[in-house]
Homo-oligomer: A and B are copies of this chain.
Amino acid sequence: MAISFTEENYLKVIHRLSEATSEDISTNAVAELMQTKAASVTDMLRKLAEKGWVNYQKYQGVRLSVEGEKIALSIVRKHRLWEVFLVDKMGFNWDEVHEIAEQLEHIESDQLINKLDEYLGFPKTDPHGDPIPNKEGILPELAYSHLSDIKATKTCKLMGVAQDSAVFLQLLTKLNLSLGAKLDIQEINEFDRSIFVSINDASPIFISHEVAKNILVKILA
């Protein structure tokens, strides 16, 4: 069945919200991420339900159907593969690729995306550490911790970020933080929960709790 860019974006947003919770997704939550009004969302949810891509009963919130989930994952796959292409092959920085990928994710050609996947060497994660669903739409669970949840004196490795915004990513770059960076947590300040941390064995610096919340790490020791 034919699908529009707008419908694809709705499915993607519902998918994103569903990852954070097992509850039904509210009209307002969708409206906020779609940057539109609740009334418009209601219209669209009815249409998506009609097409069988979501389960929706008015006033009860919305969930993706199996079919809807499949579509959403294929868009996520395209978005993240294109992000890898933009960084690895085109030489963009990780804070420059999200907006372009928002456009490229709607290009329709299974052949193209599978060839692209191969060309990129079947990457498992995108430039922000987010997992890339495979051809069958299976998303490897990576299960990383937020840096804000780690105790002092631990050593960990930066595996991803919980946010794609350019301002945030540019700040990380300024802090010399990129995928794979080694983090030695020296101390966590009780007052503002800021973290005193050594990055790649350099002299330690302070990182705010707000930033730490959006950094995903794997504990090494």
Contacts and interface: CB of A to CB of B under 8 A. Distances in A.
A38 to B, nearest CB: 25
B90 A119 contact: yes
Interface string A94-115: 0010011001100111011001
Copies of chain A in the complex = 2
Given A103-B107, A104-B107, A119 B89 contact: yes
Interface residues of A, number: 18
Contacts of A91: 115
Nearest to A106: B103
Interface core residue of A90, A92, A99 (most chain B CB under 10 Å): A90
Contacts of A29: none
A98 to B, nearest CB: 12
Interface string A68-96: 00000000000000000010011110001
Nearest to A116: B90
Interface in A112-128: 112, 115-116, 119
B112 A108 contact: no
A13 to B, nearest CB: 21
A94 to B, nearest CB: 15
Contacts of A107: 100, 103-104, 107
A146 B90 CA distance: 37
Contact of A109 (B100, B108, B119): B100
